[in-house]
Protein backbone atom coordinates (compact mmCIF):
# COMPACT_ATOMS: atom_id res chain seq x y z
CA UNK A 1 0.00 0.00 0.00
CA UNK A 2 1.50 3.29 -1.11
CA UNK A 3 1.76 6.27 1.20
CA UNK A 4 1.65 10.02 0.52
CA UNK A 5 4.62 11.80 2.03
CA UNK A 6 4.13 15.17 3.84
CA UNK A 7 5.98 16.96 1.05
CA UNK A 8 3.65 15.59 -1.60
CA UNK A 9 0.57 16.41 0.40
CA UNK A 10 1.63 20.09 0.84
CA UNK A 11 2.26 20.76 -2.84
CA UNK A 12 -0.50 23.16 -4.12
CA UNK A 13 -2.04 22.69 -7.56
CA UNK A 14 -0.70 24.96 -10.33
CA UNK A 15 -4.05 26.10 -11.75
CA UNK A 16 -4.98 28.65 -9.01
CA UNK A 17 -1.57 30.38 -9.45
CA UNK A 18 -2.25 30.92 -13.15
CA UNK A 19 -5.74 32.17 -12.41
CA UNK A 20 -4.35 34.65 -9.89
CA UNK A 21 -1.83 35.98 -12.42
CA UNK A 22 -4.59 36.37 -15.01
CA UNK A 23 -6.72 38.28 -12.51
CA UNK A 24 -3.77 40.61 -11.68
CA UNK A 25 -3.31 41.39 -15.39
CA UNK A 26 -7.02 42.20 -15.78
CA UNK A 27 -6.92 44.49 -12.74
CA UNK A 28 -3.86 46.33 -14.04
CA UNK A 29 -5.41 46.76 -17.49
CA UNK A 30 -8.65 48.12 -15.99
CA UNK A 31 -6.61 50.50 -13.79
CA UNK A 32 -4.81 51.84 -16.90
CA UNK A 33 -8.13 52.32 -18.72
CA UNK A 34 -9.58 54.27 -15.80
CA UNK A 35 -6.43 56.38 -15.55
CA UNK A 36 -6.62 57.29 -19.26
CA UNK A 37 -10.31 58.23 -18.88
CA UNK A 38 -9.59 60.44 -15.87
CA UNK A 39 -6.70 62.19 -17.67
CA UNK A 40 -8.84 62.76 -20.78
CA UNK A 41 -11.67 64.24 -18.70
CA UNK A 42 -9.22 66.45 -16.79
CA UNK A 43 -7.52 67.72 -19.96
CA UNK A 44 -10.80 68.20 -21.80
CA UNK A 45 -12.82 70.02 -19.14
CA UNK A 46 -10.56 71.26 -16.33
CA UNK A 47 -6.97 72.15 -17.28
CA UNK A 48 -4.72 71.69 -20.28
CA UNK A 49 -0.99 72.30 -20.52
CA UNK A 50 0.77 74.56 -23.01
CA UNK A 51 4.41 75.44 -23.61
CA UNK A 52 5.69 78.71 -25.06
CA UNK A 53 7.49 78.12 -28.38
CA UNK A 54 8.16 81.72 -29.47
CA UNK A 55 9.02 85.20 -28.16
CA UNK A 56 5.73 86.83 -29.19
CA UNK A 57 4.41 87.08 -25.60
CA UNK A 58 7.57 88.48 -23.98
CA UNK A 59 8.06 89.88 -21.41
CA UNK A 60 5.25 88.02 -19.58
CA UNK A 61 5.95 84.64 -21.17
CA UNK A 62 9.35 83.37 -22.24
CA UNK A 63 10.36 80.55 -24.55
CA UNK A 64 10.58 77.45 -22.35
CA UNK A 65 7.71 78.40 -20.02
CA UNK A 66 5.18 75.63 -19.38
CA UNK A 67 1.77 76.59 -18.11
CA UNK A 68 -1.62 75.25 -17.17
CA UNK A 69 -4.69 76.83 -18.78
CA UNK A 70 -8.22 76.53 -17.41
CA UNK A 71 -10.79 75.14 -19.81
CA UNK A 72 -13.98 76.38 -18.14
CA UNK A 73 -13.31 80.10 -18.61
CA UNK A 74 -14.73 80.40 -22.13
CA UNK A 75 -17.00 77.35 -22.36
CA UNK A 76 -16.56 74.07 -24.18
CA UNK A 77 -16.62 73.00 -27.81
CA UNK A 78 -15.06 70.30 -29.96
CA UNK A 79 -11.80 72.24 -29.57
CA UNK A 80 -11.83 71.29 -25.89
CA UNK A 81 -11.53 67.62 -26.81
CA UNK A 82 -8.51 65.63 -28.02
CA UNK A 83 -8.17 65.74 -31.82
CA UNK A 84 -11.12 68.16 -32.02
CA UNK A 85 -13.55 65.25 -31.72
CA UNK A 86 -17.01 66.55 -32.79
CA UNK A 87 -18.79 65.33 -29.66
CA UNK A 88 -19.93 68.75 -28.38
CA UNK A 89 -22.43 70.60 -30.57
CA UNK A 90 -21.40 74.25 -31.04
CA UNK A 91 -20.09 75.89 -27.86
CA UNK A 92 -21.72 75.24 -24.50
CA UNK A 93 -21.47 77.31 -21.30
CA UNK A 94 -19.94 80.00 -23.52
CA UNK A 95 -18.41 83.05 -21.86
CA UNK A 96 -16.77 86.02 -23.54
CA UNK A 97 -13.17 86.84 -22.54
CA UNK A 98 -12.26 90.09 -20.87
CA UNK A 99 -9.79 92.59 -22.26
CA UNK A 100 -6.33 91.67 -21.04
CA UNK A 101 -6.94 87.92 -20.78
CA UNK A 102 -4.18 85.70 -22.15
CA UNK A 103 -6.07 83.19 -24.25
CA UNK A 104 -5.13 79.96 -25.99
CA UNK A 105 -7.00 79.44 -29.23
CA UNK A 106 -6.82 77.60 -32.53
CA UNK A 107 -5.54 79.45 -35.58
CA UNK A 108 -8.53 80.23 -37.85
CA UNK A 109 -6.89 78.60 -40.87
CA UNK A 110 -4.53 75.80 -39.86
CA UNK A 111 -5.93 74.91 -36.41
CA UNK A 112 -2.57 75.29 -34.63
CA UNK A 113 -2.71 76.35 -30.97
CA UNK A 114 -1.68 79.99 -30.44
CA UNK A 115 -1.47 82.18 -27.35
CA UNK A 116 -2.12 85.95 -27.37
CA UNK A 117 -3.63 88.70 -25.25
CA UNK A 118 -7.24 89.76 -25.79
CA UNK A 119 -7.29 93.43 -26.78
CA UNK A 120 -10.53 94.12 -28.67
CA UNK A 121 -14.01 92.72 -28.02
CA UNK A 122 -16.99 92.73 -30.41
CA UNK A 123 -17.93 96.33 -31.27
CA UNK A 124 -14.53 97.77 -30.30
CA UNK A 125 -12.56 99.91 -32.72
CA UNK A 126 -8.86 98.97 -32.58
CA UNK A 127 -6.02 100.91 -34.16
CA UNK A 128 -2.26 101.31 -33.75
CA UNK A 129 -0.93 104.86 -34.21
CA UNK A 130 2.87 105.23 -34.18
CA UNK A 131 3.24 102.31 -31.81
CA UNK A 132 0.46 103.40 -29.44
CA UNK A 133 -2.63 101.23 -29.08
CA UNK A 134 -5.96 103.03 -29.49
CA UNK A 135 -9.30 101.59 -28.36
CA UNK A 136 -12.48 103.25 -29.51
CA UNK A 137 -10.54 106.35 -30.53
CA UNK A 138 -8.74 106.75 -27.19
CA UNK A 139 -5.02 106.10 -26.73
CA UNK A 140 -4.23 103.35 -24.21
CA UNK A 141 -1.76 104.69 -21.63
CA UNK A 142 1.78 103.45 -22.35
CA UNK A 143 4.37 104.35 -19.71
CA UNK A 144 8.11 103.53 -19.91
CA UNK A 145 9.33 101.17 -17.18
CA UNK A 146 12.65 99.50 -16.42
CA UNK A 147 14.21 97.72 -19.40
CA UNK A 148 13.90 93.95 -19.70
CA UNK A 149 17.33 92.31 -19.52
CA UNK A 150 17.67 88.69 -20.61
CA UNK A 151 20.90 86.69 -20.78
CA UNK A 152 22.00 85.44 -24.18
CA UNK A 153 22.80 81.74 -24.46
CA UNK A 154 26.07 80.85 -26.26
CA UNK A 155 24.15 79.95 -29.42
CA UNK A 156 21.56 82.71 -29.09
CA UNK A 157 21.12 86.33 -30.18
CA UNK A 158 18.91 89.37 -29.56
CA UNK A 159 15.88 90.25 -31.65
CA UNK A 160 17.85 93.23 -32.94
CA UNK A 161 21.65 93.53 -32.81
CA UNK A 162 21.46 96.97 -31.21
CA UNK A 163 19.91 95.51 -28.05
CA UNK A 164 22.93 93.30 -27.26
CA UNK A 165 25.25 94.50 -24.48
CA UNK A 166 28.13 93.08 -22.48
CA UNK A 167 27.62 92.64 -18.76
CA UNK A 168 30.13 93.31 -15.97
CA UNK A 169 31.01 89.60 -15.74
CA UNK A 170 31.85 89.45 -19.45
CA UNK A 171 28.65 87.68 -20.50
CA UNK A 172 26.20 89.18 -22.98
CA UNK A 173 22.53 90.06 -22.54
CA UNK A 174 19.66 91.60 -24.47
CA UNK A 175 18.29 94.88 -23.10
CA UNK A 176 14.80 95.57 -24.46
CA UNK A 177 12.73 98.77 -23.99
CA UNK A 178 9.73 97.94 -21.84
CA UNK A 179 6.45 99.80 -21.31
CA UNK A 180 3.38 99.45 -19.09
CA UNK A 181 -0.01 99.49 -20.81
CA UNK A 182 -3.31 99.85 -18.95
CA UNK A 183 -6.55 98.91 -20.67
CA UNK A 184 -9.86 100.70 -20.00
CA UNK A 185 -10.97 97.92 -17.62
CA UNK A 186 -7.87 98.49 -15.46
CA UNK A 187 -5.84 95.46 -16.59
CA UNK A 188 -2.13 96.37 -16.76
CA UNK A 189 0.75 94.46 -18.32
CA UNK A 190 4.17 95.12 -19.82
CA UNK A 191 4.93 95.20 -23.53
CA UNK A 192 8.14 95.42 -25.54
CA UNK A 193 8.63 98.02 -28.26
CA UNK A 194 11.69 97.92 -30.54
CA UNK A 195 10.89 101.21 -32.27
CA UNK A 196 8.66 102.15 -35.19
CA UNK A 197 7.84 99.22 -37.47
CA UNK A 198 5.29 98.95 -40.34
CA UNK A 199 2.78 97.19 -38.05
CA UNK A 200 2.95 100.07 -35.54
CA UNK A 201 0.49 102.08 -37.62
CA UNK A 202 -2.68 100.39 -38.83
CA UNK A 203 -6.08 101.34 -40.17
CA UNK A 204 -8.92 101.33 -37.62
CA UNK A 205 -10.71 97.98 -37.40
CA UNK A 206 -14.13 97.42 -35.85
CA UNK A 207 -14.32 93.97 -34.29
CA UNK A 208 -17.37 92.06 -35.60
CA UNK A 209 -19.78 90.06 -33.47
CA UNK A 210 -18.31 86.79 -32.14
CA UNK A 211 -14.76 87.83 -33.08
CA UNK A 212 -11.76 88.98 -31.06
CA UNK A 213 -8.75 91.21 -31.73
CA UNK A 214 -5.68 89.64 -30.13
CA UNK A 215 -2.08 90.85 -29.91
CA UNK A 216 1.26 89.65 -28.60
CA UNK A 217 2.95 91.65 -25.84
CA UNK A 218 6.17 91.65 -27.87
CA UNK A 219 4.61 94.12 -30.28
CA UNK A 220 7.31 94.07 -32.96
CA UNK A 221 7.74 90.31 -32.94
CA UNK A 222 4.16 89.04 -33.05
CA UNK A 223 2.04 87.94 -36.00
CA UNK A 224 -1.37 88.71 -34.54
CA UNK A 225 -4.70 90.33 -35.45
CA UNK A 226 -2.88 93.20 -37.18
CA UNK A 227 -2.09 90.71 -39.94
CA UNK A 228 -4.54 88.77 -42.14
CA UNK A 229 -5.10 85.12 -41.26
CA UNK A 230 -2.60 82.93 -43.10
CA UNK A 231 -1.35 79.45 -42.20
CA UNK A 232 1.64 79.76 -39.88
CA UNK A 233 1.48 83.56 -39.93
CA UNK A 234 -1.12 86.21 -38.98
CA UNK A 235 -4.33 85.27 -37.19
CA UNK A 236 -6.73 87.99 -38.36
CA UNK A 237 -9.86 88.51 -36.26
CA UNK A 238 -10.27 85.28 -34.32
CA UNK A 239 -13.71 83.62 -34.00
CA UNK A 240 -14.67 83.17 -30.36
CA UNK A 241 -15.59 79.57 -31.14
CA UNK A 242 -11.84 78.94 -31.64
CA UNK A 243 -11.09 79.66 -27.97
CA UNK A 244 -9.58 76.73 -26.08
CA UNK A 245 -8.58 77.95 -22.60
CA UNK A 246 -7.39 80.86 -20.46
CA UNK A 247 -3.76 80.82 -19.32
CA UNK A 248 -3.65 80.31 -15.56
CA UNK A 249 -0.23 79.63 -13.98
CA UNK A 250 3.25 78.32 -14.78
CA UNK A 251 4.31 74.92 -13.54
CA UNK A 252 7.78 74.76 -15.14
CA UNK A 253 10.26 77.06 -16.86
CA UNK A 254 13.56 76.19 -18.48
CA UNK A 255 16.03 78.33 -20.41
CA UNK A 256 19.77 77.76 -20.03
CA UNK A 257 18.74 76.15 -16.75
CA UNK A 258 15.68 75.85 -14.54
CA UNK A 259 14.13 79.29 -13.92
CA UNK A 260 12.92 78.60 -10.39
CA UNK A 261 11.59 82.13 -9.79
CA UNK A 262 9.02 81.69 -12.59
CA UNK A 263 7.59 78.36 -11.43
CA UNK A 264 4.20 78.69 -9.76
CA UNK A 265 3.62 82.25 -10.98
CA UNK A 266 0.16 83.27 -12.10
CA UNK A 267 -0.26 84.50 -15.66
Distance CA 131, CA 26 (A): 63
DSSP 6: H
56 is catalytic: yes
Give per-residue pLDDT as tens, 182-216: 999 999 999 999 999 999 999 999 999 999 999 99
Give per-residue pLDDT as tens, 14-29: 555 555 666 677 787 7
34 is catalytic: no
Distance CA 255, CA 55 (A): 13
Q: Are 54 and 261 in contact (CB under 8 A)?
A: no
Q: Which of 56, 73, 222, 248 is catalytic?
A: 56
Q: Which of 71, 77, 116, 253 is catalytic?
A: 116
Which CATH number is associated with domain 48-262? 2.10.109.10
Q: Is this structure's pTM higher than 0.75?
A: yes
Distance CA 119, CA 216 (A): 10
Give the list of residues 6+ apart from residue 191 with CB closer than 8 angstroms, or none: 59, 142, 178, 179, 180, 181, 217, 218, 219
Map out the domains of the chain as residue ranges.
48-262
Amino acid sequence: MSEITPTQAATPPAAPVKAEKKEDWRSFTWFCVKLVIIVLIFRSFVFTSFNIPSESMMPRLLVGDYLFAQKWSYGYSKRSLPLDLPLIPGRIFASQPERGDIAIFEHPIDGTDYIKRVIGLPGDEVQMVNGVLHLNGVAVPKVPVEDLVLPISPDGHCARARFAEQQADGSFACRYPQFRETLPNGVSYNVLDFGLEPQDTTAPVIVPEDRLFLMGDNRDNSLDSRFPAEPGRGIGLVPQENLVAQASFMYWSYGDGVRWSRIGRGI
